Amino acid sequence: MTFVLEGIHHVGITVRDLEVSREWYSRMFGLTPGPVNTGAGPELEQGVQVPDAHLTFSMIRIGSTRIEFLEYQEPVGEDFDRRNCDVGASHVCFEVSDIDAAVAELTEKGAVFSSGPIEITEGALAGSKWAYFRDPDGIQLEVWQSPR
């Protein structure tokens, strides 16, 4: 290859209301969102493959990675309706030091988990634990604890 893949800069998530998402992720995870930016025009429309796109966006940093929240003022998108098994469905996974404490604290703050932590008992990931929950827009999130 003629280039080096250096890491993941960010994961983008389209949201219904940028401020609601910034507040929710800040409250849930104790993160500080970056500045709010706006975008519009022919280059943006071509780049995001959405005619007449006008959007606001903001990032939050988690270690060396960021989550970018995008709110389209135009055109207004449809609500997320994918199941986890549908092609193209995705999720963001947060690695935590103590999954039981994370699930308890996030539940106290209003997160609704689909189950308690599930432990992987076989294979290369044996001893890992994970649990799924959703953000206010229905975006699938996960907490993960590697084996100790």
Residue intervals of the chain classified under CATH 3.10.180.10 are 10-74, 91-145
In the predicted structure, residue 88 carries a pLDDT above the cut 90: no
- How do residues 50-70 score in pLDDT, each as one tens digit? 999 999 999 999 989 999 999
Sign of the CA dihedral running 50, 46, 54, 66: positive
Quickly list DSSP for 30-76.
---B---EEEESHHHHHHHT-TT-EEEEEEEEETTEEEEEEEEEESP
- How do residues 99-139 score in pLDDT, each as one tens digit? 999 999 999 999 999 999 999 999 999 999 999 999 999 99
Domain 91-145 coded CATH 3.40.50.410: no
Q: Which residue's structure tokens are 């903001």?
A: 58
Of the options 3.30.470.20, 3.40.50.720, 3.10.180.10, 3.40.50.300, the CATH number for the domain spanning 10-74 = 3.10.180.10
